[in-house]
Structure 1
Amino acid sequence: MAPPFTLRPATPPDAPALAHVHTASWRETYTGLLPQEFLAGMTDEAARERRQRMWEALAADPPQIILVAEQEGEVVAFASGGPARDHPGVDAELYTLYALKSAQGQGIGQALLHALARELQASGASKLALWVLDQNPTRDWYARRGAREAGEKTQPLPTGGELREVRMVWDNLAQLR
């Protein structure tokens, strides 16, 4: 049986753990889905250090909501969200939702998504959107939780090739509560 988990707001001292989960989950999720050279640049030690500085700054003066999930005192997953950046007609965006492979399948991601939805709704948001890599298995996970596909975008990778992302939308944020 998996250990229980707790959710709480992130704080600046969580930055190293957030950076670890961020880069480790990229390696665990995107190996074989993204070009190896690009993935290596997004998950190496320099990337982890950049992400640590980013999460430290965001947790210190959050323009967004950042929640962490802990098991046995260790951060194993996190989610962040805030105002929608490029989703016309939508007022909130799920920026990140990452969990270590060892923490998946235990309801942690769903608990983070629901908690974030409650926070966003409390701040006045009514619709939620996110971008997900078209080949990411999590795309189906979002759909099973009520999100619908609503467009796509393609962007070139600096190492060659391109990323295709799909917009997923919940038209009623209350359905995630």
Structure 2
Amino acid sequence: MTKPFVAILMGSDSDLPVMQNTIDVLKSFNITVEVKVTSAHRTPAATHSYVTDAEARGCKVFICAAGLAAHLAGAVAGITTRPVIGVPVDAGPLQGHDALLSTVMMPAGVPVATVAIGKAGAKNAAYLAAQMLAVADDEMAAAVKADRQANAEAVIAKDKALQEKLKNA
């Protein structure tokens, strides 16, 4: 049996700078990642083939990034019953708002978990995928919990430094 992994699909290689955030967070949790450029519109047969193959090989979560019409996540959700997370990319004249609506507005029964537009959404897609994997993996659950604790401690440290700075001002 192959190791479970998360597949990151991008509608264009221009999405990589945003999605590198997703890759980095997933790798920080030691989650195996596959990254692919594929299009719901330009390569629908290849997209379908990859999704069915990836699922058979152990993909547990699909993360799909696209801008403008942003149909990739919805197309993937129509192929698989694995969780699909959509990342609207901040591109085009509407800076990703069109992508957000295209990603989030799915028919009942074919959900796409949609995160924020751009870099913050790309990071949260990775955290959400880790949490999904953690449901059946106690080690991953502990890693996610430890990451949350580290983030909380960083905020507390920043507040302490701010309070000290204000006190000495």
TM value normalised by structure 1: 0.33
Higher percent of residues as helix: 2
Larger Rg: 2
Q: TM-score, normalised to structure 2's length? A: 0.34
- Higher strand fraction: Structure 1 or Structure 2? 1
